[in-house]
């Protein structure tokens, strides 16, 4: 396997060129949570960009982080990908990560002595792992078993792929958590 990372560089986020082909939409709730994480924990991961022919840095991964902190010098992994390879990475990077499955035992171990840095993140973690929030103690209740949440879903029938895309984009812009499914 080849190492395509050329260097780690710190660059003002506003100087990165967003990828016109970026297909990820970031609803308000996700943007707010990302701002919160960056303000409380800070940057602990690098954005990924490639150098264009004129020396500019074209973003491949990290659009949301760059967007919510334009005046910050952010860590950027510079990769030696051409435009075609960058598009391919853009298409597979997040979906491959999303294929990961949750190890409930590992989550339970992480939560045993967990203390969030602030209430917003604590509530998010509680919602994400379906753990009740203890309002009296202002902390997550430590429980040995993780409950599996009920999912309430709607299936919307569309005439074609274009209508499906429009419906998906409209719902995600309004902050809805959506998945595209073809049956």
Binned at pLDDT 50, 70 and 90, residue 148 comes out as low
Sign of the CA dihedral running 26, 32, 35, 36: negative
In CATH terms, 5-98 corresponds, of 3.40.50.300, 3.90.1530.10, 3.30.530.20, 3.30.750.24, to: 3.90.1530.10
The stretch 12-37 carries a mean pLDDT of 94
Predicted confidence at residue 41, as pLDDT, reads: 93
CA angle 90, 93, 95 (to 5 degrees): 110
112: alpha, beta or left? (left if phi > 0; alpha if psi -120 to 50): alpha
CA distance 49 to 90: 11
Domain boundaries, the chain: 5-98, 104-140, 151-183
| Residue showing tokens 């998906």 | 168
Predicted confidence at residue 70, as pLDDT, reads: 96
Residue predicted with more confidence, 134 or 161: 161
Average pLDDT, the chain: 87
Percent of the chain clearing pLDDT 70 (strictly above): 91
Percent of the chain clearing pLDDT 90 (strictly above): 53
Binned at pLDDT 50, 70 and 90, residue 86 comes out as very high
Predicted confidence at residue 136, as pLDDT, reads: 47
The stretch 14-42 carries a mean pLDDT of 94
Predicted confidence at residue 18, as pLDDT, reads: 94
| Residue showing tokens 């298409």 | 91
| pTM of the model as a whole | 0.70
């Amino acid at each position: 396997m080849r190492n395509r990372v050329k260097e780690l560089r710190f660059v003002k986020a506003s100087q990165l060129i967003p990828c016109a082909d970026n297909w990820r939409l970031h609803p308000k709730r996700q943007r707010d949570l990302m701002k919160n994480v960056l303000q409380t924990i800070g940057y602990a991961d690098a954005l990924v960009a490639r150098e264009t022919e004129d020396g500019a840095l074209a973003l491949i991964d990290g659009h949301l982080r760059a967007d919510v902190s334009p005046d910050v010098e952010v860590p950027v992994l510079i990769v030696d990908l051409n435009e075609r390879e960058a598009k391919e990475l853009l298409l597979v990077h997040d979906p491959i990560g999303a294929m990961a499955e949750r190890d409930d035992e590992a989550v339970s171990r992480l939560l045993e002595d967990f203390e969030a840095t602030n209430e917003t993140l604590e509530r998010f973690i509680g919602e994400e792992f379906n753990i009740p929030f203890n309002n009296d103690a202002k902390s997550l209740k430590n429980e040995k078993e993780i409950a599996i949440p009920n999912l309430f879903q709607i299936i919307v029938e569309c005439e074609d792929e274009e209508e499906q895309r429009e419906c998906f984009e409209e719902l995600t812009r309004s902050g809805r958590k959506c998945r595209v499914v073809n049956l």
